[in-house]
Amino acid sequence: MPTGEIHSASQPPSATDSSAYEDDAWIWAQIKAEARRDAESEPALASYLYSTILAHPSLERSLSFHLGNKLCSSTLLSTLLYDLFINAFASDPSLRAAAVADLRAARERDPACASYSHCLLNYKGYLAVQAQRVSNRLWQQSRRPLALALQSRIADVFAVEIHPAAKIGKGILLDHATGVVVGETAVIGNNVSILHQVTLGGTGKVSGDRHPKIGDGVLIGAGATILGNVKIGEGAKIGAGSVVLIDVPPWTTAVGNPARLVGGKEKPKKHE
Amino acid sequence: MPTGEIHSASQPPSATDSSAYEDDAWIWAQIKAEARRDAESEPALASYLYSTILAHPSLERSLSFHLGNKLCSSTLLSTLLYDLFINAFASDPSLRAAAVADLRAARERDPACASYSHCLLNYKGYLAVQAQRVSNRLWQQSRRPLALALQSRIADVFAVEIHPAAKIGKGILLDHATGVVVGETAVIGNNVSILHQVTLGGTGKVSGDRHPKIGDGVLIGAGATILGNVKIGEGAKIGAGSVVLIDVPPWTTAVGNPARLVGGKEKPKKHE
Amino acid sequence: MPTGEIHSASQPPSATDSSAYEDDAWIWAQIKAEARRDAESEPALASYLYSTILAHPSLERSLSFHLGNKLCSSTLLSTLLYDLFINAFASDPSLRAAAVADLRAARERDPACASYSHCLLNYKGYLAVQAQRVSNRLWQQSRRPLALALQSRIADVFAVEIHPAAKIGKGILLDHATGVVVGETAVIGNNVSILHQVTLGGTGKVSGDRHPKIGDGVLIGAGATILGNVKIGEGAKIGAGSVVLIDVPPWTTAVGNPARLVGGKEKPKKHE
């Protein structure tokens, strides 16, 4: 099935809370080691790696600094955004856990992902998702104008538009990411892989709950368009360029325009 | 029909000139009221809302300031662009009328549009269209290098590429907008809704008049590609992901790759 | 065949080395003459044209300055990038030859390309390809973190993502360019035209050599998705919106989702 450059999530992480915390610490230590190694081998990047990674005591700080710099504008200052991200991460530990799970997802499923720091610094899909989770928090706190301003900056800077109200799980890989659009009432499960130019949109016929619900472990190929309040079951795969207007059962593949179901099995070890 | 998150334009505005002017004043008053309310509820945005909206005496000034800031670069200064937009709005009142009609289109047709100021500040499709109309004016004045420089900045900043020579009506909704490409000899009527990743392009076989002509009230779904000097009739609907190489009669729907006609009726009250 | 706004490459350039050098000099002289003419007719652009073109002694300098300005960020300084490009062009003359061949390709094949300076200043596909060739050089020198940082900036600024390891020939036209994604092991021949939103991706099923190989003179329409280690033969044409998972023989056309072969001839003078 055509999907773009994604390997399936072979082993969903199932760590306990304390080992998860150790895992987070281990990944941050890895990122710093990678940055130190790269700064040494490439002096032209030393100052960049220092300011984005090595100067920070934690992944959350590094991410907040990097997002603040990427998303700021002449009227939305980087310091304001930096504070906003710092505070969100400090108040809601699930944001850090999700950020770590997404790093692992990129490393495991994208053969072009060279290192954790590569993803943290360079993957605009990764950065867009982290920023969206913060905008979702603002939305739930009824700070909607700020959530929408953040959505707009993400759309301008990364060409990725995810409504702040959309619910996104952990272990998400948004690969390449350009042109991804996710509507207000969409829900994305855990360990989902989404390629570039994927739309989770409405049909234009209804208001209210009008966007797709994507199950755990789903893989959506490049340029696929899924419209309406349809349900894409756990482990399903959506072919590149498909236009999907129907429910897709778990562990089933849909392809074509309009999409038809072409396969499915009880519980394949790997998407193929 | 798959289209993305757009409601159809049920009632094209038919105001007289003087009521239109009152309408414009009413919308600008609304925008200021919204900005004051948001600045009060969200102090983090107060300075942003002041500089983009509250400091300005009119919609045109606010829009010119905002576009100047968004589209400037280290070599194309924001002051130059601000002046350019201010002068265009001052010389051509139809630009303001179109900007107001587009605000109304977003508010009426996009269920995710929370307020007029939300559209003015955050919709990159809205901003790209306002800037294109100014580039079109420059093009018609034979100031082509400047028109093309403006097109290029719009393409970089919003990932929307509309040739300055393309003719665009009023009441346009360019929703999400990422990846939209509109060619030199394309014409877009009034009250048209266009989703993201839509192409109005050429076939590559001819020069001269080589791009689509889109009638009033047409709705074009996400990722649709319309190629060649074809005519999409009034009120027609083009399904998401369609590849359209043929004329589509008024009030008719086209879907698929290549697109086929699937319906049509005399004058439906609503697209559905 | 639907392709978007591209004319075919009718006469691949076949100049000898010394006439090629004269050609390069002639094109740079043209660019300066165009910039002088535009600066005179449009004083608002004079300072911009001076800093980007007229102040520079060569195409490489102008391009390096322009790319440095476009791709810099608050943490990756324009001076660092300017130096990087200057050094790459100075060390590898094939980069300049390719930059000139691409300028010619835009001028010959894109009817909307008004002048060489229009392409140099405004075509984000042109700029993305020049920057990718420098990232490819860094990749081959094992300066991978810097190559990946450059890829990331190209993706953010131009919404074009080409892996630094991808091999790209000369005489390339990347028209409009938004949303183009090219994978790590892709190879693109000479005189290839690629419209916007084209993916040369993987199927997700394999690692290693997993991306398309595009022959000389191929034309790929808007939104086409080509996946896997397939071979697109010399002079083939891929229709807009196609999803291609198979080899396409030389001088043959593929269209549809999934794509099927629809034609082919021995050696047509023009794609049509």
Q: Which of A126-140, A255-269, B60-74 has the lowest mean pLDDT?
A: A255-269
Q: In this predicted model, which residue has the larger pLDDT, B264 or C179? A: C179
pLDDT of the residue at A17: 54
Partner chains of B (3+ C-beta pairs under 8 Å)? A, C
Q: Is C255 on the interface with B (CB under 8 A)?
A: yes
Q: What distance lies between CA B125 and its chain's CA centroid?
A: 6
CB contacts, 8 Å: A211 with chain B: 5
Nearest CA-CA distance, residue C93 and chain B, Å: 28
Q: Is B250 on the interface with C (CB under 8 A)?
A: no
Q: Which of A45-54, B210-219, C18-27, C214-223 has the lowest mean pLDDT?
A: C18-27
Quote the radius of gyration of chain C (alpha carbons, Å): 18
**H or E element, residue B38:** helix B17-41
pLDDT of the residue at C236: 98
**Mean predicted confidence (pLDDT) in B64-88:** 95
Please name the residue that has the structure tokens 């990718």: C132
Please tell me the number of Cα atoms within 13 Å of C192 on its side-chain side.
26
DSSP state of C173: E
* Alpha-carbon gap, residue A79 to A155, rounded angstroms: 20
pLDDT at A268 over 80: no
B113-159 tens-digit pLDDT = 989 999 999 999 999 999 999 999 999 999 999 999 999 999 999 99
pLDDT of the residue at A24: 85
* Alpha-carbon gap, residue A173 to A110, rounded angstroms: 8
* Alpha-carbon gap, residue B146 to A122, rounded angstroms: 33
pLDDT at A146 over 80: yes
- Is the separation of the CB atoms in A228 and A210 below 8 Å? yes
- Is the separation of the CB atoms in C222 and C6 below 8 Å? no
- Looking at residue B140, its amino acid is Q
Percentage of chain C surpassing pLDDT 90? 85
Contact C161 A179 (CB under 8 A): no
Q: Is C74 on the interface with A (CB under 8 A)?
A: yes
**Mean predicted confidence (pLDDT) in A140-167:** 97
**Out of B52, B196, B219, whose CB is closest to A181?**
B196
Q: What distances in angstroms separate CA A40 from CA A33, A43, A153, C88, C132, one per listed residue? A: 11, 6, 33, 21, 24
* Residue A207: band (very low, low, confident or very high) from pLDDT cuts 50, 70, 90: confident
Q: Reduced to 3 states, what is the DSSP secondary structure of residue C255?
A: strand
Q: Is B256 on the interface with C (CB under 8 A)?
A: no
Contact B148 C114 (CB under 8 A): yes
**Mean predicted confidence (pLDDT) in C222-250:** 98
Q: Is C5 on the interface with B (CB under 8 A)?
A: yes
* Residue B3: band (very low, low, confident or very high) from pLDDT cuts 50, 70, 90: very low
Q: Is B3 on the interface with A (CB under 8 A)?
A: yes
Q: Is A245 on the interface with B (CB under 8 A)?
A: yes
Contact A199 B222 (CB under 8 A): yes
* Residue C16: band (very low, low, confident or very high) from pLDDT cuts 50, 70, 90: low
Where does A137-259 show beta strands of DSSP type E? 161-162, 167-168, 173-174, 181-182, 187-188, 193-194, 199-201, 213-214, 219-220, 225-227, 231-232, 237-238, 243-244, 252-255
* Alpha-carbon gap, residue C271 to C191, rounded angstroms: 13
pLDDT of the residue at B95: 97
**Mean predicted confidence (pLDDT) in C41-64:** 97
Give chain A's mean pLDDT: 91
Nearest CA-CA distance, residue C187 and chain B, Å: 24
B198-256 tens-digit pLDDT = 999 999 888 899 999 999 999 999 999 999 999 999 999 999 999 999 999 999 999 99
ipTM: 0.91
* Residue C21: band (very low, low, confident or very high) from pLDDT cuts 50, 70, 90: low
Among A82, A134, A148, pick the best mutation site for testing chain B contact (most B Cβ within 10 A).
Answer: A148
Q: In this predicted model, which residue has the larger pLDDT, A55 or C270? A: A55
pLDDT of the residue at B162: 98
Nearest CA-CA distance, residue A34 and chain C, Å: 10
DSSP state of C10: -
pLDDT of the residue at C32: 98
Please name the residue that has the structure tokens 């009521």: B19
Nearest to C219 by CA among C231, C233, C201, C237: C237
CB contacts, 8 Å: B241 with chain A: 225, 241, 243, 257
Residue B254, classified by CB atoms within 10 Å of its CB into exposed (0-12), middle (13-18) or buried (19+), is: buried
pLDDT of the residue at C47: 95
* Alpha-carbon gap, residue A178 to A154, rounded angstroms: 11
User: The whole model's pTM is what?
Assistant: 0.92
C77-118 tens-digit pLDDT = 999 999 999 999 999 999 999 999 999 999 999 999 989 999
Contact C161 A178 (CB under 8 A): yes
* Residue A9: band (very low, low, confident or very high) from pLDDT cuts 50, 70, 90: very low
DSSP state of B248: B
- Is the separation of the CB atoms in B129 and B52 below 8 Å? no
pLDDT of the residue at A272: 34
* A26-34 contact pairs (CB < 8 A, 24+): A27/A59, A27/A100, A27/A103, A27/A104, A27/A116, A28/A58, A28/A59, A30/A115, A30/A116, A30/A117, A31/A59, A31/A62, A31/A116, A31/A117, A31/A120, A34/A115, A34/A116, A34/A117, A34/A118
